[in-house]
Structure 1
């Protein structure tokens, strides 16, 4: 009698991941636009604010338009960047949860929406008739495109490119209303941007999940990035102090501006402390969550505002 073999169990099939519905896809698309990072676009307030013209309704209108256009343009570039880096992001411990990398937002949808947002921002800037604003916005988009395609993988150049994007935001706030940008302003903004970006790279280097996710990181060491932070913050503090203590030909320095040195200095110290803890990878999260940093910023803005507007 033939030996009866045991029945082979049927293979267990892993169920396919459910296709995201329209609601989940829309929520993912909004998250992929990174609305928290719109905080960076508040830099457009810096030039008109320090020039003392923010109380003018016309200036406020132009500044609000500039902020909105940079939000649209930035979100468009974020979507295109995520679409291009989708395979690399899926290998990253944190970035794999981004909507495009996670599959919540299909790559074609990200590309189409990102392109549409960029075109809307450019057409709106053109329709406004403000050619300086259009020129700066085009420069910003050119720099971000170059960063997405090439510059992000070149050590040192990647830091300069991201810092340059921050500086262009601040410049846009000045050119849109015709405010001359002083050397003090450009130097402080540039050094602050360099400080923030160097801290971001340092935090990425600390994060084990970032290994191999960005080629430029291989060319950095923590000690080198600390040196960049130290040099940038030292030069920035000196420059800010010179501006704050500057008086007219026959005038003493303004008391409020001079007093703003204290929260400015504490703000920089607190930021260094946070970066040393390894939490500088998302600067906007620091700004939204760290109460001591928020208090320093509030005191700084209040004192500078009192010095300029009173």
Structure 2
């Protein structure tokens, strides 16, 4: 196999598009009004890079353990491991190297940040090895990853996470994780259990109801969060939040996929509303 093809396979294995999730680390300083103070520090990118390395290590491990099941998936069977373009030994060595590099960088940030990174790694490994097979547990494990990124960002930049922000991120993570599972279940149909055992244990309509429930709860907690910020501009970001939630539900129910990262990057309305939300919230926090 040509060197360029091999490098492309390894890059695919790292899933760099999923690094967008790690931008959650910058949410605490961004929403806390200290982003510009935080990013001018020489080591400002270390927390982000550390989580990118750690998350890629967990993705490689998950693909390594899932390679047999992924061969039953219409898209995942084309990934480097299920297709046989990268060996299991090479993937295992890559995961170990990424994990060690992530720990080394996290250590240089702070001990609390390292603790959150370590918990993230443990939860992700437990998910890949066993927990993804249990209904609800798999969704909460994915959601824990978002919360740990949020808390790690607070620890790295010295920002306290408010109760309403914690609840908003938690419920949003459950909402997105449920949508992803519902999309997989609808797309795979009768063969869903062959790819992921937990999908077979969700009764008909359960994932739909959970997505609607958590989506509504996100809207309430986020509204209360912006009210507590006492900014007259932030309240106008609530309609954007509502549109984004409904657009994601429409995307899932239309069979266009429920992966949060792909939804944001491939769905133009979602991308535009996300950009508008960031600009409006930024204006509300930094302009006064």
TM-score normalized by structure 1?
0.88
Q: Distance in 1 between matches of 2:34 and 2:43?
A: 12
Task: Name the SS for the 2:265 alignment partner.
Answer: helix
1:51-62 correspondence to structure 2 within 5 Å: 51-57=32-38, 61-62=42-43
Residue number in structure 2 paired with 1:3: none
Query: Relative to 1, partners in 2 of residues 1:98 and 1:306: Cα closer, same or farther, differing over 3 Å?
Result: same
Residue number in structure 2 paired with 1:6: none
Bigger share in helix: 2
Q: Is the 8 A contact 1:122 1:134 kept in 2?
A: yes
Q: Distance in 1 between matches of 2:227 and 2:46?
A: 33
1:294 to 271, 279, 285: 271
Matched, 1:217 2:199: yes
Select the structure of larger CA radius of gyration. Answer: 1
1:180 to 148, 152, 160: 160
Q: Is the 8 A contact 1:202 1:222 kept in 2?
A: no
Residue number in structure 1 paired with 2:186: 206
Task: Name the SS for the 1:278 alignment partner.
Answer: coil
Query: What is the Cα deviation at residue 32 of structure 1?
Result: 0.8
Query: What is the Cα deviation at residue 228 of structure 1?
Result: 0.9
Deviations 1:162-182 (A, max 9, x none): 110111111111111111111
Residue number in structure 2 paired with 1:244: 226
Q: Distance in 2 between matches of 1:195 and 1:152?
A: 17
Residue number in structure 2 paired with 1:86: 67
Task: Name the SS for the 2:22 alignment partner.
Answer: helix
1:124-139 correspondence to structure 2 within 5 Å: 124-126=105-107, 128-139=108-119
Q: Is the 8 A contact 1:44 1:63 kept in 2?
A: no
Residue number in structure 1 paired with 2:130: 150
**Residue range with higher mean Cα deviation, 217-226 or 60-69:** 60-69
Residue number in structure 2 paired with 1:166: 146
1:209-288 correspondence to structure 2 within 5 Å: 210-246=192-228, 253-288=230-265
Query: What is the Cα deviation at residue 153 of structure 1?
Result: 0.3
Query: What is the Cα deviation at residue 240 of structure 1?
Result: 1.1
Q: Which runs of 5+ in 1 are unaligned?
A: 1-19, 248-252
Q: Is the 8 A contact 2:29 2:38 kept in 1?
A: no
Q: Distance in 2 between matches of 1:56 and 1:78?
A: 32
Residue number in structure 2 paired with 1:29: 10
Query: What is the Cα deviation at residue 294 of structure 1?
Result: 1.3
Number of equivalences: 285
Q: Distance in 1 between matches of 2:130 and 2:282?
A: 40
Q: Distance in 2 between matches of 1:91 and 1:227?
A: 27
Query: Relative to 1, partners in 2 of residues 1:288 and 1:161: Cα closer, same or farther, differing over 3 Å?
Result: same
TM-score normalized by structure 2?
0.94
Task: Name the SS for the 1:112 alignment partner.
Answer: helix
Task: Name the SS for the 1:270 alignment partner.
Answer: helix
